């Protein structure tokens, strides 16, 4: 991230904080003194849940107040994002979105929220590599044999996703573009339902975030053929990376972040950030993230906002190059 982007983000963040204080928005004493709501814009069982629920449990343990997970799946995560954007900015409503929300502006002609204007960026909560997983009953568990099967039967095999315009969808489109193959896209209302159909054999493969696939890979329900990027994941050292398999430019990272509705009092935002930093250092969160092959980056506030802005631009270029469209 360039120094210019960081300085500009810090100025924006500072200006917002000053404006909020001038309006007299202040947190009530003793925050949190009641349950806090966290909108997760996908059904239970997906990648976002894999990080939201352990965080919720630790938040309750440390603060003594419940962090209620409100799963609002639909429209590739956009339905829940719209709900979160309209939530009361009272310090008790938050949103855990994902990389999908940085792709959406390039895929949807109209959204009822603006990720950069309607929310205050809090923190990048987790980053995990994308992984190609297959149902071993439908496809070979070896990458070379898998590629032979896909190339010999264009359009015969399909891949499930969390919905049109999600990172699962775009990761598949990028794979098709770089391997010059044709695989049919099957959109679902979240990664959880798509994974269940993959396990059942109703879809053949997924380009999933390692966080939601990890437990099923370990249990042998699905087979991991490749992790994206140029290095293997420490939690799954036997799974080759894309660069090893002849795809040096196949780099797709699934990330999850937390936001507050625009207008949330600046002092509450600061307190929530303190809680996030505190919880990220606990042994429980470290172990949970590691088991999902994830990292908890130290990217918060204006730096996270600048990161999201860069991701929106990056995915716009991928959408244009791949010609990806909503099914």
Report which DSSP code applies to 244: G
3-state secondary structure of 308: helix
**How many whole angstroms separate alpha carbon 315 and alpha carbon 194?**
22
- pLDDT of 288 above 90: yes
In this predicted structure, the answer to whether residue 159 has a pLDDT above a threshold of 50 is yes
Is the pLDDT at 227 greater than 90? The verdict is yes
Give the mean pLDDT of 229-253.
94
> Average pLDDT for residues 202-230, to the nearest whole number?
95
Structure confidence at residue 26 (pLDDT):
53
Closest to 71 in 3D by CA, of 202, 216, 191:
191
Token pair for 83: 């709900």
pLDDT of residue 181: 97
- The model's confidence at residue 12, banded by pLDDT at 50, 70 and 90, is very low
Whether 29 has a pLDDT exceeding 50, the answer reads yes
d(C-alpha 175, C-alpha 264), whole Å: 40
**Percentage of the chain with pLDDT > 90?**
76
The CA distance from 185 to 111, in Å, is 22
Cβ pair 8, 303 in contact under 8 A: no
At residue 135, does pLDDT exceed 50? yes
pLDDT in tens, 91-122: 999 999 999 999 999 999 999 999 999 999 99
pLDDT at 45 over 90: no
Chain mean pLDDT for the chain: 90
Closest C-alpha among 10, 259, 4, 268 to residue 117:
259
What is the set of domains in the chain, with CATH numbers?
3-127+254-322 (3.40.190.150), 129-245 (3.40.190.10)
Taking only the tens place, the pLDDT of each residue in 296-307 is 999 999 999 999
């Amino acid at each position: 991230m360039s120094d210019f982007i960081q300085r500009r983000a810090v100025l924006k963040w500072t200006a917002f904080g000053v404006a909020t204080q001038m309006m007299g928005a202040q947190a009530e004493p003793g925050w949190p003194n009641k349950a806090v709501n966290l909108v997760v814009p996908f059904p239970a069982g997906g990648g976002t849940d894999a990080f939201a629920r352990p965080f919720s449990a630790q938040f309750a343990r440390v603060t003594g107040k419940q962090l209620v997970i409100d799963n609002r799946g639909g429209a590739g995560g956009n339905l829940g994002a719209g709900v979160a954007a309209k939530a009361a900015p009272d310090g008790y409503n938050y949103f855990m979105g994902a990389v999908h929300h940085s792709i959406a502006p390039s895929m949807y002609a109209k959204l009822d929220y603006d990720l950069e204007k309607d929310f205050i960026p809090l923190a990048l909560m987790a980053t995990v590599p994308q992984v190609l997983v297959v149902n071993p009953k439908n496809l070979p568990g070896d990458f070379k044999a898998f590629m032979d099967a896909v190339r010999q039967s264009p359009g015969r095999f399909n891949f499930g996703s969390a919905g049109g315009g999600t990172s699962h969808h775009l990761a598949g489109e990028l794979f098709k573009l770089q391997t010059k193959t044709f695989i049919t896209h099957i959109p679902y209302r979240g990664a959880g339902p798509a994974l269940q159909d993959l396990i059942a054999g109703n879809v053949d493969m997924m380009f999933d975030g390692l966080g939601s696939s990890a437990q099923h890979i370990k249990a042998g329900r699905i087979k991991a053929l490749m992790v994206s990027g140029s290095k293997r994941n420490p939690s799954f050292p036997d799974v080759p990376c894309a660069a090893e398999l002849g795809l040096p430019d196949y780099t797709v990272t699934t990330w999850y972040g937390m936001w507050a509705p625009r207008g949330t009092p600046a002092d509450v935002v600061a307190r929530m950030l303190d809680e996030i930093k505190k919880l990220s250092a606990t042994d429980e969160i470290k172990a949970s993230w590691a088991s999902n092959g994830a990292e908890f980056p130290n990217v918060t506030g204006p730096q996270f906002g600048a990161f999201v802005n860069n991701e929106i631009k990056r995915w716009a270029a991928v959408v244009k190059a791949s010609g990806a469209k909503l099914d």
